């Protein structure tokens, strides 16, 4: 199968042209040949009719007045004749026939019958047989016997078809050569037309080839694109726009990662350099090492969460499907934060029904709850409240985690699931808060087949998690934001 569009178009155009020309030539040939043969036959029949009209007969004999027919005397293009009497005996025949005889056919009276036969001198002859009733001889006068079919004569007139055949051969040669020339010219014209017709595609291909990762904003085929190619161009431009958006997110993410790692790296480096700048007491070195350890732990948190994010994005995490008592899991996840909550006088209330279970992966679901609860403890107002609820709705389970003291706007809340995004108040935690916790929640919930949205109302920040009550059998779902996100944002 031809893969080249140009070859296909050329083959189609030329093939169609050859077929049409062949049919046209055959038809033309048939029409002209028919006309020539018809003309030949008419001429031959005329000669036969004239000859028949010139035959006079009486009871004893018949007479043919051939001296009035100069065509019959032409030795160059002879016309042979032969006349049979009513009894089938040859009355007269062309002297040029010598020993040869023309074929005789019994035909209805005055109905010429034509045939082609190779009868004389190895040539093809066109023969017409005509049965007619001869007029009575003038010498008989009124005593002449009446002309009846019983007294009919049969005449055969033959003429050489060489000239006709030559004409037909010339016609065939003419049509064949004309067709060849027309097909050659058609090929050249079609090649040129196809080449010009495909030029926009070539231009488009050249423009696409020139697109690089840093020029994805280029609009392809902005001008002079045929309407047939315009949809392809439009789809390509849409694809480029999606690629650009994806690349931009990637660059922003890389920039955020670099930033998140650069700041603690700067902290480690300056801490070590300042510590080594002079001789110090052991306690000072110990403090510097402690600072470095704290920074390293923060970096480890960033790196671990980045790895988890990458794995969740590429579905490299394997999930179990097990019945999980939700209230128990949330309480277990809350436990590590109890001290911090006590310090900040934050009350936690687990309102999830004790018997409620959810089919999911306990390990990763506990990561989700831990991140959400850790976030809530961090950002709830001092003396505020945190509470968890759950209920079944249809074939899904809706879990909510809420905390008071939220100072984020609705617009800011739309970014809480973006990697490295931190609300203004959280920027104090550069290097210690990863800025990845809620992004990880978003990815994990999606990978677990659930949905997550966040909203803020009257200073209460609420995260709503929806999981299928039958677990993750239908495959991973897609987490959702309360407001469409705008990609990653750098924050510190």
Would you tell me which residues interact with another protein (CB under 8 A)? 255, 258-259, 262-271, 273-275, 277-278, 288, 291, 294-295, 424-428, 430-432, 490-492
Q: Minimum distance between the CB of residue 426 and another protein, rounded to whole angstroms?
A: 8
Number of H helices, E strands in the chain: 10, 15
Look up residue 6 and give its two tokens: 């140009």
* CB-based contact 440:371 (threshold 8 Å): yes
Compute the distance between CA of residue 171 and CA of residue 161 in angstroms, rounded to an integer.
Answer: 15
Q: Cβ 384 to another protein, closest distance in Å?
A: 20
d(CA 373, CA 387) in angstroms, rounded, equals 9
* Smallest distance, another protein to C-beta of residue 373, A: 23
CB nearer another protein, residue 218 or residue 430: 430
H-helix or E-strand containing 29?
Answer: helix 5-53
Cβ proximity of 43 and 129 under 8 Å: no
* Closer by beta carbon to another protein, 111 or else 432: 432
C-beta of 209 vs 282, nearer to another protein: 282
What's the order of all strands across the beta sheet hosting 113-120? 90-93, 79-84, 152-160, 123-133, 113-120
Q: Please say which residue, 217 or 270, places its beta carbon nearer to another protein.
A: 270
Residue 424 Cβ vs another protein, minimum distance, rounded to whole Å: 6
Query: Taking the complex as a whole, how short is the minimal distance between the CB of residue 253 and another protein, in angstroms?
Result: 14
CB nearer to another protein: give 177 or 270: 270
- On whether the CB atoms of residues 256 and 420 are closer than 8 A, the answer is yes
Minimum distance of another protein from residue 262's CB (angstroms): 4
**Coil, strand or helix: which one is 64?**
strand
* Chain centroid, CA 34 distance in Å: 50
Residue 229 or 268: which CB sits closer to another protein?
Answer: 268
Residue 78 or 264: the one with the smaller Cβ distance to another protein is 264
Nearer to another protein, 270 or 457 (CB): 270
**CB burial class (10 A; 0-12, 13-18, 19+) of residue 134?**
buried
- Residue 302 burial (10 A CB sphere; 0-12, 13-18, 19+): buried
Cβ of residue 286: shortest distance to another protein, in angstroms? Answer: 14
Enter the tokens of residue 331: 């309480």
Annotate 86-154 with DSSP letters as a single string: TTS-EEEE-GGGTT---------BT--EEEEEEEETTEEEEEEEEEEEPEEPGGGGGGPPPP-GGGEEE
Residue 150 burial (CB < 10 Å; 0-12/13-18/19+)?
exposed
The distance of closest approach from Cβ of residue 218 to another protein in the complex, given in angstroms and rounded to an integer, is 20
CB of 266 to another protein, least distance (A): 4
Distance of CA 469 to the CA centre of its chain: 41
Contacts of 444 (CB under 8 A, 6+ apart): 308, 312, 364, 367, 368
Q: Which residue has the tokens 């050329």?
A: 10
| Pair of tokens at residue 192 | 């040129």
The length of the chain is: 492
Which CB atom, from 145 or from 274, has the smaller least distance to another protein?
274
When the beta carbons of 121 and 269 are compared against another protein, the nearer one is 269
Greatest CA separation for the chain: 169
- Strand locations in 134-192 (E): 135-136, 152-160
Closest distance of CB 419 from another protein, Å: 16
**Shortest spacing between CB 321 and another protein, in angstroms:** 42
Pick 199 or 262: Cβ nearer another protein: 262
């Amino acid at each position: 199968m031809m893969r080249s569009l140009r070859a296909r178009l050329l083959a189609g155009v030329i093939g169609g042209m050859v077929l049409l020309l062949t049919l046209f030539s055959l038809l033309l040939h048939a029409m002209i040949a028919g006309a020539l043969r018809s003309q030949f036959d008419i001429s031959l029949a005329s000669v036969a009719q004239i000859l028949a009209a010139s035959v006079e007969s009486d009871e004893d004999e018949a007479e043919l007045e051939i001296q009035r027919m100069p065509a019959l005397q032409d030795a160059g293009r002879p016309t042979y004749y032969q006349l049979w009497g009513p009894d089938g005996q040859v009355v007269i025949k062309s002297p040029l026939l010598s020993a040869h005889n023309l074929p005789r056919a019994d035909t209805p009276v005055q109905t010429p019958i034509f045939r082609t036969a190779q009868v004389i001198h190895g040539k093809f002859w066109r023969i017409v047989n005509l049965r007619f009733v001869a007029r009575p001889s003038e010498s008989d006068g009124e005593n002449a016997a009446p002309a009846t079919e019983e007294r009919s004569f049969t005449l055969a007139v033959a003429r050489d078809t060489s000239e006709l055949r030559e004409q037909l051969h010339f016609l065939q040669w003419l049509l064949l050569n004309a067709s060849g020339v027309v097909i050659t010219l058609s090929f050249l014209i079609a090649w040129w037309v196809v080449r010009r017709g495909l030029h926009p595609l070539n231009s488009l291909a050249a423009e696409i080839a020139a697109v690089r990762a840093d020029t994805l904003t280029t609009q392809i085929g902005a001008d002079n694109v045929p309407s047939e190619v315009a949809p392809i161009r439009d789809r390509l431009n849409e694809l480029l726009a999606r690629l650009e958006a994806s690349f931009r997110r990637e660059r922003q993410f890389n920039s955020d990662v670099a930033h998140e790692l650069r700041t603690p790296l700067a902290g480690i480096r300056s801490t070590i350099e300042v510590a080594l700048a002079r001789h110090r007491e052991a306690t000072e070195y110990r403090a510097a090492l402690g600072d470095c350890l704290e920074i390293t732990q923060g970096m480890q948190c960033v790196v671990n969460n980045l790895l988890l994010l990458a794995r969740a994005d590429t579905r490299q995490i394997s999930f179990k499907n097990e019945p999980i008592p939700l209230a128990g899991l949330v309480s277990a996840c809350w436990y590590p934060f109890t001290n911090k909550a006590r310090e900040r006088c934050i009350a936690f209330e687990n309102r999830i029904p004790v018997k409620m279970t959810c089919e999911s992966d306990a390990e990763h679901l506990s990561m989700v709850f831990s991140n959400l609860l850790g976030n809530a403890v961090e950002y709830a107002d001092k003396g505020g409240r945190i509470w968890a609820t759950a209920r079944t709705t249809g074939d899904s389970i809706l879990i909510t985690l809420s905390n008071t003291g939220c100072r984020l706007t609705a617009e800011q809340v739309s970014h809480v699931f973006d990697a490295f995004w931190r609300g203004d108040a959280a920027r104090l935690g550069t290097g210690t808060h990863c800025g990845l916790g809620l992004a990880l929640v978003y990815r994990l919930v999606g990978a677990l087949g659930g949905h997550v949205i966040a909203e803020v109302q009257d200073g209460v920040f609420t995260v709503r998690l929806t999981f299928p009550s039958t677990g993750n059998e239908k495959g991973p779902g897609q987490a959702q934001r309360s407001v469409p996100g705008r990609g990653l944002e750098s924050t510190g």
